[in-house]
Structure 1
């Protein structure tokens, strides 16, 4: 018996003992079905072949959906871990100056943003504002009403959300300074420091125009804003 015949006999035995090897291979099954259709002739329609093609198409769509769901889950987990790390970092400092420095360096690096600013409204005079500014470059003091105006872009009747995401090049050097010209998307976290206190805002700016988009979920950023509010209330008390 020739080597070819021996190989064929071994292959036949393999298929007979383990048919799943063939059935689980989509490429082999597709070739076998195509060969069967050709043997039937042009006047016969093989409904089993058509049904299998449709099932394969549905399977492909299901696999694509499955991959998309898994990718989204991993992204969500990574985002959650990122926010948790930022929160733990914010809780480390023992004084307000260290808290501000950590925001502009460590927290900004963890969140992977190109600019991070804390905006506080104040009715203090110029000397008072300068004294506050010296606590860190991350802090910006503005007049009352600035935050609402910036969030709504000066439009009346626009609701103030806790988290606002938008893709734009902001016209606000008071927030970003020299970085204004290359900030292309931003996340604005409105802060409530309690009754009787003026509001604040945490501003995250990115050079990437797609990092913050209006259609993104905001639950993690809302959690970050909530923790930040509580930390600020501690320093303001």
Structure 2
């Protein structure tokens, strides 16, 4: 910044200086119709400055934006609370499973009844027997479905997962997939949920609640050997 610019800025009045000036000489503002119009103000018959249509519109717009933001936050909080409550209820249902087949049935049932989805499925890679009610996968198929050997979950539409949903696969428009590791040595598996809504599961959606259910399924499934 050169000396000329510095001097020019020094000559520019501060907001506080302008305020003090108008307080000392309010007639300047009241007598300038163009300035009042630009600010969206007007002077009423009692010589009092009122808000004009432009100013009122700005105030109304600001209030509307604030109300929308508040309603959005409240709705988001309510949805999160409802999802957590449903997840906790789902966990209790899963823990009451009597065997692997019952566990798979409960996953599908809670997907439809609690979450309004089209299907829920459990899948397990070989070698070895596949529990009744679970989808059988070949070794390495979990990586193929998820698209990455290091990937733990996938949210959104995953065409490679459609086969997990059997005769309801044609209704699935988005999926939530979480990798599982069950028994020792670990066998790779998947928990899969399918939605008819293309926006039911999206790539930018957090997978925390679905992953939590997957961890419950893992621990519950380890109660019994595969017969």
**Structure 1 residues 77-86 or 159-168, which shifts more?**
159-168
Q: Which residue of 1 aligns with 2:204?
A: 215
Deviation at 1:224, TM superposition (A): 1.4
Judged with a 3 Å threshold, the aligned counterparts in structure 2 of structure 1 residues 99 and 79 are, in CA distance, closer, same or farther, namely: same
- Residues 86, 111 of structure 1: 8 Å contact kept: no
Distance 2:142 2:44 in 1: 76
The answer to whether residue 113 in structure 2 is matched with residue 109 in structure 1 is yes
Could you tell me which of 138, 141, 144 is aligned with 1:146? 141
Q: Which residue of 1 aligns with 2:185?
A: 196
Equivalent pairs counted in the alignment come to: 185
SS at match of 1:118: strand
Distance 2:157 2:110 in 1: 24
SS at match of 1:235: coil
Deviation at 1:59, TM superposition (A): 1.9
Deviation at 1:92, TM superposition (A): 1.1
Pairs within 5 Å for 1:122-133: 122-124=126-128, 128-129=129-130, 132=131
Could you tell me which of 175, 183, 191 is aligned with 2:172? 183
Deviation at 1:182, TM superposition (A): 2.3
Give the TM-score taking structure 1 as reference length: 0.67
Cα RMSD after superposing both structures:
2.9
Structure 2 gaps, min length 5: 1-39
Judged with a 3 Å threshold, the aligned counterparts in structure 2 of structure 1 residues 224 and 171 are, in CA distance, closer, same or farther, namely: closer
Deviation at 1:206, TM superposition (A): 1.5
SS at match of 1:234: coil
Query: Which whole-Å deviations, capped at 9, do the CAs of 1:172-191 have from their partners, x for residues lacking one?
Result: 56422232222111100111
Distance 1:215 1:226 in 2: 21
Pairs within 5 Å for 1:1-237: 37=42, 39=44, 46=49, 48-49=51-52, 52-124=56-128, 128-129=129-130, 132=131, 135-136=132-133, 139-152=134-147, 158=148, 160-167=150-157, 170-171=159-160, 174-193=163-182, 195-236=184-225
More strand per residue: 2
Distance 1:192 1:208 in 2: 29
More helix per residue: 1
Judged with a 3 Å threshold, the aligned counterparts in structure 2 of structure 1 residues 217 and 193 are, in CA distance, closer, same or farther, namely: same
